[in-house]
A and B are shown apart, each in its own frame.
Chain A
Amino acid sequence: MRTMVKRAMRRSIVECLLCSLLILILSGPAFGGPAVFGGFPPDPAVCYQPPDPPLILAQSSRSSLTEEEREFEEQADTMPDPLEPINRFFFNFNDKLYFWAYKPVASGYKIVVPEDVRLGVKNFFSNLTAPVRLVNCLLQANFKGAGNETIRLLLNSTLGMAGFLDPAKKELGIEKSEEDFGQTLGVWGMGPVFYVEWPFLGASSLRDAIGFTGDILLDPKTYLIKSMPVGLAIRTYDQVNDTSFRIGEYEDFKRNAIDPYLAKREAYHQYRKHKIKNR
């Protein structure tokens, strides 16, 4: 059993690796190097506007606004970054990757495929990872989120035509609970440790990188898809489809930053903190 899981995981990771290579090949410019890939953890620079905020807006848990506002005078809370030179190198690498590979491929795809279809595909892939969110909700003792995810999975998989439609949200207003294992570790009290900018993967932290591995274990795709080329094609397609919704956001983000690397690192830090707090 354990070897099976291990094998499945290894395959998934290899698929992730190859997936980005495929995008590169599709995009034209020859571009070698090691490749790791996945849509996860969310890169705040790219998904500057996460699509689905948690259903229940947490009523502010801060003790007092005034207190919080005084704190700013003192040292701000930033993410430790001992690997900065390496991180900056990969930041530039990812930046080029976006402009040379993701953007052209996703732009072409966007022209050819109508929005409704792309949205359906996005819903479909999102529905597949419902178990990841469900388990993480449970691990965080977020029973409302777990209940919502269960309803969503059942409803969207059936009436929602295998997840292509989202009747749970459209008809009932039940939104996704974007929970992942990195957040679970955060809820359990683990800090981000330090910032990591992965090539291909983008912004992450040591904690969220561990979380990412955990989520692969919970992803049904890891077990369902036996053939590697198929898994690879699926992950690649998911990524391109996702990017097609976000073209322009990274450009905006970059234009407005004085030091885009620092802006990305801090945005990632704050965004993850916010997600962990508002579960």
Chain B
Amino acid sequence: MRLSVITMNRIVIIQAFLFLSFTFGMVSPAFAGEPQDQLRQTTDKVLAILSDPVLKSQNKVKERRELILKVVDERFDWEEMARRSLARHWVQRTPEEKQEFTHLFKELLERVYMDKVEGYSWNKISYEGELIDGDYAAVKVKVFTAKDQTIQVEYRARKKGNHWLVYDFIVEGVGLVNNYRTQFNEIILKSSYQELIKRLKTKSTQN
């Protein structure tokens, strides 16, 4: 009896509001282009690894991480991220310094990524459209996590050869690389580049 009342309520509500039609008809058929397709392939692979029951056990954590990072490596342009995070300080660095920095920054970002991937249950990902402008693209994604939570993520990618490589992600308007850029810039300006490297190294040993 209780059930049927709820179902009836539901039907009445849906009918009433279909009629008012405040929000319906907004669903835009997402046209999937190259950047989105490529990103989707990567994401699907990561999700497959995450849901693999064999890899779920405690002693497989390391193995699983390596598998995920291998998939991600192909899609993310670490050097571009490093270059962007240093912005105008990048050109002042020697090739060796650039290499060292890229390595440290990559390590940091991989951990950020793993935190996000392992820490939350990714129930569903919906693709909300993309924007292509020459060699640059933005792919909008909505991540449905635990109960009642959705996160808007925007991937920024740049075309290199046939591949669209991700160089930044923007979570609810907060750009990851952009955020590090501000931190790095102020640390360099207030102390020195060497101080920044020192702090990056401390971070990597802490974890």
0/1 interface trace, chain A 149-160, chain B, CB 8 Å (1 if under): 001000100010
Number of A-B contacts (CB under 8 A): 131
Complex interface: chain B residues within 8 A of A252 (CB): 115, 119
Q: Is the CB of B186 within 8 A of A262?
A: yes
> Chain B nearest CB: distance from A212 CB in Å?
20
Q: Is the CB of B147 within 8 A of A267?
A: no
Q: Is the CB of A274 within 8 A of B173?
A: yes
Q: Is the CB of A271 within 8 A of B138?
A: no
> Chain A nearest CB: distance from B115 CB in Å?
5
Q: Is the CB of B87 within 8 A of A72?
A: yes
0/1 interface trace, chain A 115-140, chain B, CB 8 Å (1 if under): 10001000000000000000000000
Complex interface: chain B residues within 8 A of A64 (CB): 133
A73–B181 Cα gap in the complex (Å)? 11
| B42 on the A face (CB < 8 A) | no
> Chain B nearest CB: distance from A274 CB in Å?
2
Q: Is the CB of B199 within 8 A of A172?
A: no
Q: Is the CB of A78 within 8 A of B182?
A: yes
> Chain A nearest CB: distance from B149 CB in Å?
6
| B14 on the A face (CB < 8 A) | yes
0/1 interface trace, chain A 197-212, chain B, CB 8 Å (1 if under): 0000000000000000
| A39 on the B face (CB < 8 A) | no
Supposing A148-B22, A267-B179 touch, asked if A76 and B151 sit within 8 A by C-beta, the answer is no
Chain B contact residues (Cβ within 8 angstroms of A): what range? 35 or more
The residue among A48, A144, A172, A271 with the most chain B CB atoms within 10 A of its own CB is A172
Q: Is the CB of A50 within 8 A of B172?
A: yes
Q: Is the CB of A155 within 8 A of B13?
A: yes
A270–B152 Cα gap in the complex (Å)? 14
User: How many residues does chain A have at the interface if contact means C-beta atoms less than 8 Å apart?
Assistant: 53
Q: Is the CB of B13 within 8 A of A159?
A: yes
Interface members, chain A 170-191 (any B CB < 8 Å):
171-174
Supposing A148-B23, A174-B23, A256-B112 touch, asked if A262 and B183 sit within 8 A by C-beta, the answer is yes
A147–B179 Cα gap in the complex (Å)? 35
* A174 closest partner in B (C-beta): B23
Q: Is the CB of A270 within 8 A of B178?
A: yes
Q: Is the CB of B187 within 8 A of A258?
A: yes
A57–B149 Cα gap in the complex (Å)? 16
| A51 on the B face (CB < 8 A) | yes
Complex interface: chain A residues within 8 A of B185 (CB): 76
| A65 on the B face (CB < 8 A) | yes
Known: A60-B131, A72-B178, A76-B182. 6 other contacts (CB 8 A): A57-B129, A65-B156, A72-B87, A151-B22, A266-B179, A271-B174
Residues of A whose CB lies within 8 Å of any CB of B are 44, 48-53, 55-57, 59-60, 64-66, 69, 72-73, 76, 78, 115, 119, 144, 147-148, 151, 155, 159, 166-167, 171-174, 248, 252, 255-259, 262-263, 265-267, 270-271, 273-275, 277-278
